[in-house]
Each structure stands twice: as structure tokens, then as C-alpha cells.
């Protein structure tokens, strides 16, 4: 993995969504509360690095991705890209250079594609809107290049097709091609293979890894599947109720988890193993609490079989439990 410094840095990032109350609250213009979708996270992504952001539905993964791609505005904290503070940058013209360098791959390929546009127009749209080509010849060349890089060969065979004429894997490749067309430095991939079968998943993952190796492109890979994250990522960050609870190398997080929630994610995947293979950490039970009512103290104690009095009073800091391996649990050591 190339190590040329950070391309992206999130510092104490928070995203809170207001909850509207009754008529009296609406008249006074005050919210009844907030949903703490993202609650103060610090994360870095290096040039050419693949970082996986792992967690259950509702943990705040997609919200982090939307903030990075400037589709959502943070409540607090900073977003730094190549050292420049992009937190408060807004507006189409102001964001045009940023969106040239940062693109997103959405989870539902069918909804991400305009059913009335051909594949050529879908992939060409970001090139036109960001004004990255000067003539039709350049446009055709860039669209062909992006489709080929996404594994749709020969590209010309797909120019006139519509989304409904493509398979699920081909639609996902078109979404990837649309992101690649602008030649970004960072791609946020939000569950890009969750709706595909296993054989197609492997092909799409290989496309993403090949693109990283060829273009030194950084990737934030958002997923709920810890073994899948291990297959593709250099580092894994585990997100729970808007907080990063563990972060480290892919091998460390997968095979030596030091937080009960990470163990729960790992053990949620069907596997064949002996009793000796099981972690000594007991897994969490039950559902994720509401992000609108984050527990006082350690937000994990309602589900954690290791909880004790301190868990009900104080939130644990992230402590180093190994080389570049952090875990936010009072018993991590």
C-alpha cells in the first residue's frame, strides 16, 4: 500500500438531525431532540489506501460518506482534503473542483441510474457538469476509458443500452464507471456489492482493488460485512451509534478484535469453526439502541455482557491495544 500522507482527514466530526415535536414545539421553532447520527469521530485515509467503515444499519456509516462527498453538512468538526478545510464550502461552483477529486458509488445501482438515459449519457453526465471535456471526441474517449476500467468491454457495445437492459452486475459497473470518468483521487463506495450475488461481488471487488493499484486511488469502503471488509481493506474502522469503537489493520480487527461489538459483527457471519477458534470476548446481544437516545456513559453497556458500574457512568476513550490498533472499551487491555 502506498504511504504518501493523508488525502482525507475527519476531525471530531458530528452530524445531528433534529426531531420535530408536537404543534407547540413547531410554533416555537424548537426541535424535540436530535438524532446523533455521527457523534465525534476522527478518521484519516491515506493516498492509495482502502479503509473499510463497518457497522450495522443505523450506525452512521452512510452519513459519514455523505459528509465526505458534500451531500450532507456536518453539525460540528472539520473535513480536510489534501490539507484544505472543506467543511463550510458550499455551492455548485465552489464544489466543482472538489467533486472532480471525490466521487461516490451508491448502494442501489438501479435507483442511482436514470432509467431514461443511455449508458453513454449516464457516464458522460459528470464530465459535462464538471466541464472536464472540450469536445465530443474527448467525451467519447473518456466514457470509453471509464467503461473499460469498470470491466464493461467492449465499451461501444454498451453506449446505447438503457439500465433495464443490463444485469445487476453490469448496472453496478456503470455506476462505478460514472465515478471513474472524472478520474477522482478518492471514491466513497457505499455498500457497492450488497445487492449482488457472490460471484459478481468478487468481480466488483477486484475492479476496485485494480483501480487502486493502477491509479493510486484512495477508497472508503462502507459495509456491514466484516469478512468482506477484510478481503479488500488495508485498515478497518468499526462504527457503532455514530462512534468509532475500534480501528486497526484488517488482520488485527478481523482476527484479534478487542471490542465486544467487533466480535458481534464477526460472529454474525456464518462460519465453520471449532470451539477453540472462538474469541474469549462474549458477543453483544439484542438490537442497536436508538441514536436519538444515546445511553449515558458507555453507549455499549445495555448490550454488553462485560458491563460493570464504570460503563454506566463514563464513556471509554480509544486506547492503543497494539500497533496502530485502537479500541474504545474499558476492558480492551
Please report whether residue 144 resides in a domain: yes
Question: What is the structure's pLDDT at 279?
Answer: 55
Cβ-contact 37, 291 below 8 angstroms: yes
Give the pairing type, strands 243-249 and 235-240. Answer: antiparallel
Please report whether residue 213 resides in a domain: yes
Cβ-contact 151, 145 below 8 angstroms: no
Which grid coordinates are listed for 32?
424535540
Range of the domain at 136: 6-327
Question: What is the structure's pLDDT at 307?
Answer: 83
- Which CATH number is 25's domain given? 3.40.50.300
Question: What is the structure's pLDDT at 2?
Answer: 43
Cβ-contact 186, 217 below 8 angstroms: yes
Please report whether residue 259 resides in a domain: yes
- Averaged pLDDT in 10-residue chunks for the chain of 333 residues: 74 89 69 83 95 92 94 94 92 88 88 91 92 92 92 92 91 91 93 80 86 90 92 95 93 91 83 54 70 76 81 88 89 81
Please report whether residue 333 resides in a domain: no
Please report whether residue 200 resides in a domain: yes
Give the pairing type, strands 50-54 and 218-223. Answer: parallel
Give the pairing type, strands 186-190 and 102-105. Answer: parallel
Question: What is the structure's pLDDT at 67?
Answer: 95
Please report whether residue 290 resides in a domain: yes
Question: What is the structure's pLDDT at 5?
Answer: 79
Please report whether residue 39 resides in a domain: yes
What whole-number distance in Å separates Cα of residue 125 and Cα of residue 99? 13
C-alpha distance from residue 134 to each of 130, 141, 179, 208 (Å): 11, 12, 19, 28
What whole-number distance in Å separates Cα of residue 302 and Cα of residue 320? 24
Please report whether residue 1 resides in a domain: no
Question: What is the structure's pLDDT at 309?
Answer: 83
Three-state SS for 46-59 is ECCCEEEEECCCCC
* Number of domains the chain is built from: 1
What whole-number distance in Å separates Cα of residue 259 and Cα of residue 246? 7
Amino acid at each position: 500500500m502506498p504511504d504518501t500522507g493523508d488525502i482525507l482527514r475527519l476531525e471530531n466530526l458530528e452530524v445531528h438531525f433534529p426531531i420535530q415535536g408536537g404543534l407547540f414545539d413547531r410554533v416555537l421553532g424548537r426541535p424535540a431532540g436530535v438524532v446523533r447520527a455521527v457523534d465525534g469521530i476522527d478518521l484519516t485515509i491515506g493516498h492509495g489506501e482502502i479503509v473499510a467503515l463497518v457497522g450495522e444499519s443505523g450506525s452512521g456509516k452512510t452519513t459519514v460518506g455523505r459528509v465526505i462527498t458534500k451531500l450532507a453538512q456536518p453539525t460540528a468538526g472539520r473535513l480536510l482534503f489534501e490539507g484544505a478545510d472543506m467543511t463550510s464550502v458550499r455551492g455548485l461552483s465552489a464544489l466543482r473542483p472538489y467533486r472532480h477529486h471525490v466521487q461516490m458509488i451508491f448502494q442501489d445501482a438501479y435507483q442511482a441510474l436514470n432509467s431514461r438515459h443511455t449508458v453513454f449519457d449516464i457516464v458522460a453526465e459528470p464530465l459535462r457538469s464538471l466541464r472536464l471535456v472540450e469536445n465530443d471526441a474527448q467525451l467519447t474517449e473518456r466514457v470509453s476509458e471509464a467503461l473499460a476500467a469498470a470491466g464493461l468491454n467492449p465499451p461501444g457495445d454498451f453506449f446505447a443500452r438503457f439500465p433495464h437492459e443490463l444485469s445487476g452486475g453490469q448496472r453496478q459497473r456503470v455506476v462505478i464507471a460514472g465515478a471513474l470518468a472524472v478520474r477522482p483521487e478518492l471514491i466513497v463506495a457505499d455498500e457497492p456489492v450488497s445487492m449482488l450475488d457472490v460471484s459478481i461481488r468478487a468481480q466488483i471487488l477486484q475492479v476496485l482493488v485494480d483501480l487502486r493499484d493502477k491509479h493510486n486511488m484512495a477508497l472508503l469502503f462502507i459495509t456491514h460485512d466484516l469478512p468482506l471488509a477484510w478481503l479488500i481493506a488495508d485498515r478497518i474502522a468499526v462504527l457503532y451509534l455514530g462512534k468509532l469503537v475500534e480501528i486497526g489493520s484488517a488482520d488485527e480487527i478481523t482476527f484479534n478484535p478487542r471490542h465486544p461489538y467487533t466480535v458481534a459483527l464477526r460472529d454474525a457471519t456464518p462460519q465453520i469453526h471449532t470451539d477453540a477458534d472462538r474469541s474469549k470476548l462474549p458477543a453483544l446481544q439484542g438490537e442497536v439502541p436508538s441514536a436519538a437516545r444515546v445511553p449515558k456513559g458507555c453507549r455499549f453497556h445495555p448490550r454488553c455482557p462485560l458491563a460493570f458500574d464504570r460503563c454506566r457512568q463514563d464513556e471509554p476513550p480509544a486506547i492503543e491495544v497494539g500497533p496502530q490498533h485502537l479500541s474504545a472499551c474499558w476492558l480492551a487491555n
